[in-house]
Amino acid sequence: RSGVLLAWPIAVYEWEIVHHTDLASRIDRGGDPAHELARHMHVELLLVDLFHRSTSQLLTVATCHLPTHLWTDPVKRRAQAIIMHLVVDTLQGYADGLPAILMGDFGFIPSSAPYALAA
């Protein structure tokens, strides 16, 4: 497992809510090999709502780290896409239409399916 961290200038932003979730909890047991692998990755997603003190703009920020080892196998690449789908889906649901930023160490390339999901 790996950890993630978010930091922001407290003079500029006030934080509203911090939410932390292990995305493995959103994957049903007993799926195909890619779903099972994704469930065992235990990718942690950290989300926070930031309130800009001078503009009153609310912004949702999220970060995570995707494991990147041995992505030459199609099952592992599919597992990475499954996790990225959950990351984006969770962020969109949490932000609920507010502006949102996703950042992290994703370990995929611009021509990959996970990149297409994130972009």
In a domain, residue 77? The reply is yes
pTM surpassing 0.75? Answer: yes
Per this entry, what is the length of the chain? 119
Mean pLDDT of 91-104: 93
Q: What is the pLDDT of residue 99?
A: 95
Question: Does residue 71 fall inside a structural domain?
Answer: yes
Structure confidence at residue 70 (pLDDT)? 56
Q: Is pLDDT above 90 for 57?
A: yes
pLDDT for 88 beyond 80: yes
Residues facing residue 19 across a β-bridge:
47
Domain holding 62, by residue range, is 13-118
CATH of residue 37? 3.60.10.10
User: Which residue type is seen at 5?
Assistant: L
Determine the residue type at 64.
Answer: C
Name residues whose C-beta falls within 8 Å of residue 66's C-beta, 6 or more positions apart in sequence.
41, 43, 80, 83, 84, 104, 105, 106, 107, 108, 114
Nearest residue to 6 via CA among 60, 82, 57: 60
Count of domains in the chain? 1
Amino acid in position 23: L
pLDDT above 60 (res 1)? no
Structure-model confidence comparison of residues 66 and 88, the more confident one: 88
